[in-house]
């Protein structure tokens, strides 16, 4: 488990990163936290000839709230996001997802951008970015490009990121109203990739009706997915407990997961049903509590 030979360069700016990527193309790889890349290199599953270290690039770090969006730079460590009061205030769903990501040691090194570009179909941060309709800003030597999270993830470990592009930042829309969210997952052990994860976020208007909703699943398809049929049904007025139960069933019946060592396809489908129901129930409950607190 020794990596194949590679060159290493430390970049100082996004401009420099883009120049290096333009010059070296697909044989180069960016490294930030290295939590997925380094094991893959050690097992020689990937053999980049050049590693571009982006850890010193200041433009790639930071969290800020701008009008309707929470902006998190791609190189921001997961633990900083976890501890951020702005994230807690404007987009707590991201922290709810991070609760399930790895361990403190891996979150101290791992970055938001690193998790998104790795695109494990069971990973939590890709799911939360799809759930919240995040916009992912990519940059190459010729300029910037914004890609919706729903169009970013293409297949397991495959994204819309071109080899000459760098993920610069992610914009998470800030929801208004009484917002509740919940993230449930099951894995054999704490910190493992999820067998199934389910996330739901809901906003209630002053009358207590649903004004906005997002429901997503991880681990059940090639990429994280949204369950639009359920969202539409909820927007149509289905918030009662019995309805949530039926909607969860509807969601589970729509998916077509695969089996592996840790779970059968049937397990994934049925547990997706269980977790969606829990996520919806908790999200509604939290939104109602918020509504009560603000009135």
Note the residues at the interface with another protein (CB under 8 A).
Answer: 1-5, 43-44, 186, 188-193, 195, 261-264, 266-267, 270-271, 274-275, 278
Whichever of 88 and 103 has its CB closer to another protein, that residue is 103
Across 60-177, the runs of DSSP E, i.e. the strands, are 63-66, 69-73, 135-140, 143-148, 153-155, 158-159, 166-173
To the nearest whole angstrom, how small is the minimum distance from the Cβ of residue 174 to another protein? 32
Angle at 50 between CA 16 and CA 31, to 5 degrees: 70
291 closest CA partner among 206, 211, 174, 209: 206
At closest approach, how far in Å is the CB of 195 from another protein?
Answer: 8
Phi, psi of 214 (to 5 degrees): -140, 135
Nearer to another protein, 212 or 278 (CB): 278
Using the minimum distance from each CB to another protein, give the nearer residue, 43 or 240: 43
Closer to another protein by Cβ: residue 211 or 281: 281
Q: Which residues contact 262 (CB under 8 A, 6 or more apart)?
A: 188, 195
Nearer to another protein, 151 or 270 (CB): 270
Q: How far is the CB of 196 from another protein (least distance, A)?
A: 8
- With respect to another protein, which residue has the nearer C-beta, 137 or 271? 271
Strand, helix or coil for residue 184: strand
Shortest Å, Cβ 153 to another protein: 20
Cβ 130 vs Cβ 225: under 8 Å = yes
Q: Which residues contact 71 (CB under 8 A, 6 or more apart)?
A: 63, 64, 65, 169, 170, 171, 172
The least CB distance from residue 267 to another protein, in Å, is: 5
CB of 182 to another protein, least distance (A): 15
Contacts of 65 (CB under 8 A, 6+ apart): 71, 86, 89, 90, 174
Closer to another protein by Cβ: residue 60 or 199:
199
Q: CB of residue 43 vs another protein: minimum separation in angstroms?
A: 7
Can you tell me the distance from the alpha carbon of 58 to that of 288, in angstroms, rounded to the nearest whole number?
40
| Cα–Cα distance, 278 to 281 (Å, whole number) | 5
C-alpha neighbours within 13 Å on the C-beta side of residue 144 = 9
């Amino acid at each position: 488990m020794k990596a194949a030979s590679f060159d290493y360069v430390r970049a100082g700016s996004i401009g420099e990163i883009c120049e290096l990527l333009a010059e070296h193309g697909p044989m180069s790889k960016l490294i930030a936290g290295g939590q997925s890349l380094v094991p893959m290199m050690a097992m020689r599953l990937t053999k980049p000839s050049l590693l571009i270290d982006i850890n010193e690039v200041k433009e790639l770090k930071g969290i800020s709230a701008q009008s309707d969006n929470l902006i998190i730079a791609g190189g921001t460590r997961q633990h900083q996001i976890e501890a951020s009061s702005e994230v807690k205030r404007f987009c707590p769903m991201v922290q709810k997802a991070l609760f399930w990501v790895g361990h403190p040691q891996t979150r101290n090194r791992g970055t938001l951008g690193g998790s998104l570009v790795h695109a494990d179909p069971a990973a939590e941060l890709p799911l939360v970015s799809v759930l919240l309709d995040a916009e992912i800003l990519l940059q190459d030597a010729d300029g910037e490009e914004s890609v919706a999270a729903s169009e970013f993830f293409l297949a397991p470990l495959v994204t819309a990121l071109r080899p000459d592009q760098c993920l610069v930042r992610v914009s998470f829309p800030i929801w208004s109203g009484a917002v509740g969210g919940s993230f449930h997952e099951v894995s054999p052990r704490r910190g493992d990739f999820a067998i199934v994860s389910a996330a739901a976020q809901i906003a209630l208007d002053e009358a207590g009706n649903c004004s906005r909703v997002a429901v997503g699943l991880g681990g059940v398809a090639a990429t994280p997915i949204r369950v639009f049929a359920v969202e539409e049904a909820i927007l149509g007025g289905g918030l009662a407990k019995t309805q949530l139960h039926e909607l969860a069933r509807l969601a589970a019946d729509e998916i077509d997961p695969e089996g592996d060592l840790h779970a059968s396809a049937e397990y994934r489908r049925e547990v997706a049903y269980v977790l969606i129901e829990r996520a919806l129930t908790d999200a509604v409950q939290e939104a109602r509590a918020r509504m009560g607190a603000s009135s």
